Amino acid sequence: MAEKNSSQWQPGVSGNPAGRPPGAGKAAKLRAAIAEHVPDILAQLVEAAKGGDVQASRLLLERVLPPVKAIEAAQAVDLPGETLTEQGRAVLAAVAAGELAPGQGATLIGALGTLARVAEVDDLLRRIEALEARNGPKEGEG
């Protein structure tokens, strides 16, 4: 194993402790120069918005009010049928009839697909356990 080069930086230790101080970059200087004018800029934006400037209004509102997110109301769903296929068809029929929103239907179909995969894994596990019980323990076991 080769030795580490002693000139490499050590974790947690700055390679330039006397380097540029925080706030000395170009962006920080620009922010500082603009900061003193912010109250006047805001006042002008408000006046422009009051005067009918749609862009000024939009800019102010976007910064002050969070965007409204669409929500879907919860919808009770009866999934008749014994099989996941029958239940999937019931979801599609509910979407087609306008009883469910398409997004809700897609979510339910996805959940049924996930449930099918879980059921498949459970079925395979039961089959493996039955085979092992019939044929004795695996190699390397008791």
Give the pLDDT means over successive 10-residue stretches in the chain (142 positions).
63 75 82 90 94 93 84 81 91 92 92 94 94 79 58
Q: Is residue 100 domain-resident? A: yes
- Scan for tokens 């390397």, then name that residue: 140
Q: Tell me, what's the pLDDT at 6? A: 62
Q: Tell me, what's the pLDDT at 79? A: 86
Q: Is residue 14 domain-resident? A: no
Domain hosting 43: range is 26-64
Q: Tell me, what's the pLDDT at 130? A: 92
Q: Is residue 10 domain-resident? A: no
**Which residues, other chains included, contact 48 with Cβ-Cβ below 8 Å and sequence gap of 6+?**
56
What is the total count of domains within the chain?
2
Q: Is the pTM of this model over 0.85?
A: no
Per-residue CA distances from 45 to 1, 53, 57, 66 (Å)? 66, 9, 8, 19
Q: Is residue 71 domain-resident? A: no
